[in-house]
Structure 1
Amino acid sequence: MNLAILQARMTSTRLPGKVLKSINNQPMLLFQIKRIMKSTKIDKLIVATTIEKEDDIIVELCEKNNISFFRGSLENVLDRFYQAALKYNPENIIRLTGDCPLIDPEIIDKVITQHILNGNDYTSNCITPTYPDGMDVEVLTFETLKKLIINADRQSHREHVTLYINENKDKFKMENVFNTEDLSDIRLTVDEAEDLQLIRIIYSEMKYKDDFNLDDVIRLLRKRGNLLEINKFFKRNEGLEKSLKNETTERRC
């Protein structure tokens, strides 16, 4: 089984409640789920949220739309991820995050295919990013996830599920999936209000359909170059950098 786990919570520090922000009067998370379900390689999708009261609304959305969900720890995301997968005992797990409403199912399938074809422990398109921020896909075997649960002992490892892998590359068979063109400077994720503004414009231009792909988005952005000015000031992986900085400060104290 290829199990997709979509992490989603309401308590984002930069843009609280972002996963349920409205796009054409529908929650952003639903737009993303519809796109993920177009993948031909995913057998099951589960939303992994937290046990916090703020995330009751995510559970309500899942129940209303017949979407499987799991509730776990807010801070120990690695454990939440593991516990969500445990019930299904999958061969491979596809890690996705709820701030990527333009995720391309063709890219998801490409990463999964490479992972299985080459017998990798971990396969991703963001070890060395060449896709836009917001197109991130990570695939790992369940056996690899079990190793993370045993060996990932730092707070940053528990907060960022696959960080241990990227800091211990010699211990895993890894592969990065590259795009044909380096588009890593384009930002299609949602962490800030400006990000959401851009995403709403893109969906409007796409008539709120879910059958467009990354190439369609890039053509739009190149046709209307001013759109890229909306959120160009934000850095990729700011959350991870902040987590590592805080951890370093704590160790010094």
Structure 2
Amino acid sequence: MTLAILQVRMTTLRLPGKALAPLRGEPMVWRQLERIRQARTVGKVVVATSDEPADDILTAFLLSRGQTVFRGSAGDLTGRFMRCLEAAGPVAHVVRLKGDSPFVDPGIIDATVRLARVSGADYTSNRVQRSYPRGLEVEVAATAALWDSARSVDPVTAAQVSPMAQLRARPDRWRHAHLVAARDWSGLDWRIKTRADLEFAGGVYAALHAADPAFSMTDVLDLLQGRQDIARWAA
């Protein structure tokens, strides 16, 4: 099975609470989950968050919708990630996704997972050799490599850096594969960091979501070519 872990926190410096900010009538985190579930290669989706009180409201909302949530210490990145993985049951690959990315593309998730399976790489992503817009990052790791990574670092480093990041940083130790787009769109940034970013996401969703809730990166790019009123928010 391939497990997707969506890492989400309510406490962000620039836009606190953005995970529950409305996006076409639903919280942003729910729109992300809708899109992730469209990926055909993903067997299970878990939201990973902290056990801090600020994340209680996020957890309560997700549980009320039947979404699996794992909570762990905010100060132990490796421990939280690996306990989440362990609780999910037998898993061959893990997909890591971030909570500031409402344009996460199920097609790109599938392409990354398939590359991981075919290549046999320990770590596969579209973020090391950047060609996709920021906010569409997908990281996939073989479970055995994640456990190896988690066991290989000292406790201080393990608390501060996730095992996925450790795999990414050591291509000399763990084999990498890279998903590269047909063109270089790495100069675009579709992450939600500010109120203006949220306005941009709202405009895109208003234009595309009703016709196709799983709209693709290409759909967004095409939209921006003809809608300068939306494109200006992405500048």
| TM-score band, normalised by shorter chain | over 0.9
The 2-side partners of 1:5 and 1:148 are apart by 17
With over 3 angstroms needed to count, the CA separation of the structure-2 counterparts of 1:104 and 1:207, relative to structure 1, is closer
The 2-side partners of 1:73 and 1:94 are apart by 20
Which residue, 151, 171, 175 being the options, matches 1:169? 171
Q: Does 1:6 align with 2:6?
A: yes
Measured on the aligned residues, the alpha-carbon RMSD in Å equals: 1.7
1:186, CA displacement in angstroms?
Answer: 1.1
The 1-side partners of 2:61 and 2:32 are apart by 13
Segments of structure 2 that go 5 or more residues without pairing to the other structure are none
Deviations 1:150-171 (A, max 9, x none): 2234548734543322322100
The 2-side partners of 1:163 and 1:63 are apart by 28
- Across the two proteins, how many residue pairs are aligned to each other? 232
In the other structure, the counterpart of 1:97 is 98
- TM-score, normalised with respect to structure 1: 0.86
In the other structure, the counterpart of 1:112 is 113
Task: Look up the equivalent residue of 1:51 and give its one-letter code.
Answer: D
Q: Does 1:75 align with 2:75?
A: yes
Deviations 1:106-147 (A, max 9, x none): 100000000001111010011111011111100001111112
1:207, CA displacement in angstroms?
Answer: 4.3
Task: List aligned pairs for 1:1-150, cutoff 5 A.
Answer: 1-87=1-87, 88-150=89-151
Task: List aligned pairs for 1:128-207, cutoff 5 A.
Answer: 128-153=129-154, 155=157, 158-207=160-209
Task: Look up the equivalent residue of 2:131 and give its one-letter code.
Answer: T
The 2-side partners of 1:155 and 1:231 are apart by 35
The 1-side partners of 2:220 and 2:97 are apart by 20
Q: What percentage of aligned pairs have identical amino acids?
A: 30
Task: Look up the equivalent residue of 1:162 and give its one-letter code.
Answer: M
In the other structure, the counterpart of 1:222 is 225
With over 3 angstroms needed to count, the CA separation of the structure-2 counterparts of 1:156 and 1:183, relative to structure 1, is farther
The question of whether the paired residues in 1 share the 8 Å contact of 2:146 and 2:167 is answered with no
Segments of structure 1 that go 5 or more residues without pairing to the other structure are 233-253
With over 3 angstroms needed to count, the CA separation of the structure-2 counterparts of 1:52 and 1:26, relative to structure 1, is same
With over 3 angstroms needed to count, the CA separation of the structure-2 counterparts of 1:223 and 1:161, relative to structure 1, is farther
The SS at the match of 1:170 is: coil
The question of whether the paired residues in 2 share the 8 Å contact of 1:156 and 1:163 is answered with no
1:24, CA displacement in angstroms?
Answer: 2.5
The SS at the match of 1:171 is: coil
Task: Look up the equivalent residue of 2:179 and give its one-letter code.
Answer: V
The 1-side partners of 2:205 and 2:128 are apart by 28
The SS at the match of 1:220 is: helix
In the other structure, the counterpart of 1:241 is none
The question of whether the paired residues in 2 share the 8 Å contact of 1:152 and 1:158 is answered with no
In the other structure, the counterpart of 1:242 is none
1:94, CA displacement in angstroms?
Answer: 0.6
1:211, CA displacement in angstroms?
Answer: 2.9
The question of whether the paired residues in 1 share the 8 Å contact of 2:79 and 2:158 is answered with no
**Does 191-200 or 156-165 show the bigger shift?**
156-165
The SS at the match of 1:185 is: coil
The question of whether the paired residues in 2 share the 8 Å contact of 1:157 and 1:163 is answered with no
The 2-side partners of 1:157 and 1:171 are apart by 21
The 2-side partners of 1:155 and 1:193 are apart by 33
